[in-house]
Amino acid sequence: MDVRVYPTGVDGTVRAPPSKSYTHRAILAAGYAGGGVVRSPLVSADTKATARATRLFGGDVAREDEITVDAPAEWPTTPADVIDCANSGTTMRLTIATAALADGTTVLTGDESLRSRPQGPLLDALEDLGSESAESSRGNGQAPVVVSGPVEGGSVSLPDDIPSQYISALLMAGPKMADGVEIELDSPPKEVPYINLTIELLDSFGVQVADTDGGYAVSPDQSYEREDPYVVPGDFSSISYPLAAGAVAGEVTVSGAQPSAQGDSEIVSIVKDMGADVSWDEENGRISVSSQPLSGIEVDVTDIPDLLPTIAVLGAVADGTTTMTNCAHVRQKETDRVEAMTEALTKMGASVSETEDTMTVHGGETELTGATVEGRSDHRLIMALSIAGLVADGPTTIRGAEHVDVSYPQFFDHLSELGVEVDRL
């Protein structure tokens, strides 16, 4: 599906979609706990992949308004079939570690994009922790991967500049390892808020993570336990798009936006620092943003890589220069988001420059015009470019827009509710 977005002012209220990151982890935590209920989950292509994996590991997963997981005491068991993680990097990495706990061999794969993303350091870590084997079937550190367990656990050292998902995967599997897990890091990790998010969720399931000198540890004398349903908070990565719409094209209120460990809640400060009128009622979870003249800023995206497309669009509307630094790891997402956003915004008339580790949008030299741009099967590019279309001169067509289903299936419905003219082609 392609969509065409017309330049439109926005006005209204939308509810934040539930967090994708928390939903993934909560489904797996319920499996590790032998069962549980995940309330207000995000139901999207990515989280469905995690639910499928949980079933293949031997759990019973039912979904109505909430997700109910019932798992045997020996969960995870060896899957009877290949686990297809589709486009979900979080599913792939979290369940690679889950697979190492099973007493048998698990094969995991995904779509073309996911098969290009690195998994080697996580596979090496599992072998160092005593997994019978953990390897890439093509020998290139990428999926398909084949993992044989059970893993014993112990101490493992991880190299520089690894994705936070490797650490989260080992922390979540740690209580199920005979010797627990102690992770030593060669350098401070990127995306620390995502690790904190995992630690917060583990704590809610009764698992404590120790902060060691330069790493993390989970002792094996713990078990996942939770009696009450786990309630998924709103997703600040997704909230960034309606907030950006308000900042550039009118006024938007987002409900369901209570504070949490999510690093992407920094979007509230970013739009405020750029000059938008922002108020956040944290107790009631309501954020209101209205447009004012924006000014360029510098943003370090080390811990907030998913915000780069949104910030780039804000920079294209702002006066002055907006620079995103420490963004080399953003090139290893569903696509190279630095190069992809540079190409798309340039096609729309923006002045953009990039290095390996930076992206700079020269707002003072930019006049956005409607164009046909590629979504590159990347939900975050599609949504960010849709926001750019609100203030472009003429309609903007985004190809492959169905991929918003990965994290925000109601995105275009929400734009319509805010008054945006959107054609689904």
Residue appearing with tokens 């923006």 = 350
What pLDDT, in 10s, does the model give residues 100-120?
Answer: 999 999 999 999 999 999 999
Taking the C-alpha atoms of residue 365 and residue 244, their distance in angstroms, rounded to an integer, is: 20
Architecture in CATH of 20-217: Alpha-beta prism (3.65)
Q: What is the mean pLDDT of residues 70-97?
A: 97
337 labeled binding residue: yes
Taking the C-alpha atoms of residue 22 and residue 235, their distance in angstroms, rounded to an integer, is: 9
Do 3-17+234-424 and 20-217 share a fold? yes
44 labeled binding residue: no
Average predicted confidence (pLDDT) for the chain: 96
pLDDT of residue 5 exceeding 80, the answer is: yes
| Confidence at residue 232, expressed as pLDDT on a 0 to 100 scale | 96
306 labeled binding residue: yes
pLDDT of residue 190 exceeding 90, the answer is: no
| Confidence at residue 364, expressed as pLDDT on a 0 to 100 scale | 87
Q: What is the pTM of this model?
A: 0.90
Give me the active site residues, please.
306
Residue appearing with tokens 């996580």 = 122
What pLDDT, in 10s, does the model give residues 172-189?
Answer: 999 999 999 999 998 888
What pLDDT, in 10s, does the model give residues 300-340?
Answer: 999 999 999 999 999 999 999 999 999 999 998 889 999 99
> pLDDT band for position 64 (50/70/90)?
confident
186 labeled binding residue: no
226 labeled binding residue: no
Q: What is the mean pLDDT of residues 273-279?
A: 98
Question: Which amino acid type is present at position 319?
Answer: D
| Confidence at residue 214, expressed as pLDDT on a 0 to 100 scale | 84
Q: What is the mean pLDDT of residues 193-197?
A: 95
pLDDT of residue 398 exceeding 80, the answer is: yes
| Confidence at residue 302, expressed as pLDDT on a 0 to 100 scale | 93
% the chain with pLDDT above 70: 100
Q: Domain map of the chain by residue range? A: 3-17+234-424, 20-217
Taking the C-alpha atoms of residue 205 and residue 303, their distance in angstroms, rounded to an integer, is: 25
| Confidence at residue 330, expressed as pLDDT on a 0 to 100 scale | 94
| Confidence at residue 338, expressed as pLDDT on a 0 to 100 scale | 98
CATH class of the domain at 3-17+234-424: alpha beta
Token representation of residue 267: 């979007």
What pLDDT, in 10s, does the model give residues 200-217?
Answer: 999 999 999 999 988 999
8 Å CB contact between 280 and 268: yes
Interacting residues of 179 by C-beta distance below 8 A, sequence separation 6+: 130, 152, 153, 154, 220
Q: What is the mean pLDDT of residues 134-153?
A: 97
> pLDDT band for position 161 (50/70/90)?
confident
What pLDDT, in 10s, does the model give residues 209-267?
Answer: 999 988 999 999 999 999 999 999 999 999 999 999 999 999 999 999 999 999 999 99
Helix/strand/coil (H/E/C) assignment for every residue in 155-169: EEEECCCCCHHHHHH
8 Å CB contact between 244 and 420: no
Q: What are phi and psi of 357, to 5 degrees?
A: -120, 10
20 labeled binding residue: yes
Interacting residues of 65 by C-beta distance below 8 A, sequence separation 6+: none
Nearest-CA neighbor of 168 among 142, 133, 196, 146?
A: 196
Instruction: State the pairing for strand pair 210-212/352-354.
Output: unpaired
% the chain with pLDDT above 90: 95
187 labeled binding residue: no
